[in-house]
Amino acid sequence: MNVKDGVLFNGVRGVILRAMASIEPIMEASGEFTITSVKDGTHGPNSFHYVGCAFDLRTRHLQTPERVESVAKELRETLGNSYQVIVEKDHIHIEISPQWVALNGDPRKVA
Ligand SMILES: [Zn+2]
């Protein structure tokens, strides 16, 4: 696992650390496992990034949209219902799912 310079992990939730650990085999097999954002960066006003409940993965090594979708599918299968895997223009975004929030509460409201 690699972490891009400047990425902030302070306050990252256990649920996200567990996701990072569980996807390691998939991402290493894909050719690169680089986390490009956790609590840092600029995201939507209601983003789970700000409460340590989301992270981004580099995808440029995958080269084609088809490879990105294929890896995203593997990530969804491995991560299960507690997470959402969203393919963005130049990265894959992973955050806690509505099901996780229903069970555990919305960390944006208690943070
Ligand atoms: Zn993101």
**In tens digits, what is the pLDDT along the chain, a chain of 111 residues?**
999 999 999 999 999 999 999 999 999 999 999 999 999 999 999 999 999 999 999 999 999 999 999 999 999 999 999 999 999 999 999 999 999 999 999 999 865
| pLDDT value of position 90 | 95
| pLDDT value of position 110 | 63
| pLDDT value of position 102 | 97
Distance 66 CA to ligand 1 centre (A): 20
| pLDDT value of position 98 | 97
Q: How far apart are CA 32 and CA 93, in angstroms?
A: 15
Closest CA to 18 of 49, 50, 52: 52
Assess contact for 5 and 36: CB atoms under 8 A. no
Distance 79 CA to ligand 1 centre (A): 16
Distance 4 CA to ligand 1 centre (A): 14
